[in-house]
Structure 1
Amino acid sequence: MDLQSKTVKLRLIEESDADFVLKLRLDEKYNQFLSSVNPSVEAQKEWIKKYKNDETQGSQYYFIIERNDGVPCGTVRVYDLTEDSFCWGSWILNEDKTKYAALESAFLVYKFAFDHLGFQKSHFDVRKGNERVISFHEKMGARKTGETDLDFIFAITKDAVEATKTRLSSKISVSTP
């Protein structure tokens, strides 16, 4: 499946991405709202190696977000696949991102999960205090469905994503299969 938009694309993670992922996750500019990670490149490679089994079984997918010129600029993961919904997270974009990388990578995640995996909706959580990401998801059409001590819980439908994509079509372009 082609997961490419106007300025970024998604590709499945490989062990060789361990150093890039670790640098992102350890960078204080990006990790305030993320779970902690072992600071070892070898531990990250082991995690990726184990994850690849999940990918083969179709239980989760971890992507590197790259600019279309091949420069990696982030990560995103699709996981917690249920009968009718999927979760996504581990979404990080660094300073190498393009102007619309957040929008484009989000639409690519939805394209993958809705069109390739066949889901009609998504559920996900955002740490309380992560106002920029909360605002982003609400502008995309997500609705708060609950909360925990740490997180707000959201849900969004395929129809809501399609409506937002149509509304923003002049700014972004996500190719179709």
Structure 2
Amino acid sequence: MQFPFHKFGLIFRLVEEGDAEFILSLRTDKVHARYLSPTDNDLQKQIDWIREYKKREEKREEFYFLFANEDNEPVGVVRVYDIKDDTYTNGSWIVKPGCDEFISIKSDLFLSEFAATELKNKRCVFDVRKDNKKALRFHKMFARVTGEDELNYYFTIDEDGAKRKNEFLTSII
């Protein structure tokens, strides 16, 4: 897959150090980042984190994507990490306040395409915070709950579930 990648009216590319301020603004927004792991409001720490991430990206251990609208204005980010022989995790997904809900659908479809072409249809495992009711309703339609703890439900979605999800999502955008 070549970047930048244009699909669904969005532009997807790999995160760079220059994106640190945008990412930090998303991850420190108390409302929109409430379901993510906490992030220190420290620009240098964010830059340092991206530098370390780029080393993992080079080894194809992790991918962190920024997506922008057609005017090339950044609107969100999402990661693929914990890449193993047969699984990967997606997460750290967050969208700029004020964006329409279809952006989340479009970024999910992009991740599915990326996983299919670059990770060869590996099974996706991920977690959703128990109080993130909207995301839970969505994921329970296609993925299987494999466990839980005090904070999260843990899910897996196989190739068939991903196909059903992608067909459904493609039909509504």
**Alignment CA distance shift 1:96-1:17 (3 Å):** farther
Deviation string for 1:17-48 (max 9, x for gaps)?
A: 00000000111121211111121111111110
Q: Does 2:158 align with 1:163?
A: no
- Does the CA contact (< 8 Å) of 1:76 and 1:90 recur in 2? yes
Which of 39, 55, 61 is the aligned partner of 1:59?
61
Partner residue, 1:20: 22
- Paired residues for 1:74-113 under 5 Å: 74-113=76-115
Deviation at 1:96, TM superposition (A): 4.7
What TM-score do the two structures reach when normalised by structure 2? 0.91
Alignment RMSD: 1.5
Deviation at 1:99, TM superposition (A): 4.2
Seq. identity, %: 35
Q: Which has the higher contact order (CA 8 A, sep 6+)?
A: 1
What is the distance in 2 between the residues matched to 1:144 and 1:38?
31
Deviation at 1:88, TM superposition (A): 0.6
Partner residue, 2:146: 145
What is the distance in 1 between the residues matched to 2:28 and 2:8?
29
What TM-score do the two structures reach when normalised by structure 1? 0.90
Partner residue, 1:39: 41
Secondary structure, counterpart of 2:145 in structure 1: strand
Q: Does 2:136 align with 1:134?
A: yes
Deviation string for 1:34-64 (max 9, x for gaps)?
A: 1111211111111101110000011000111
Of stretches 152-161 and 83-92 in structure 1, the one that deviates more from structure 2 is 152-161
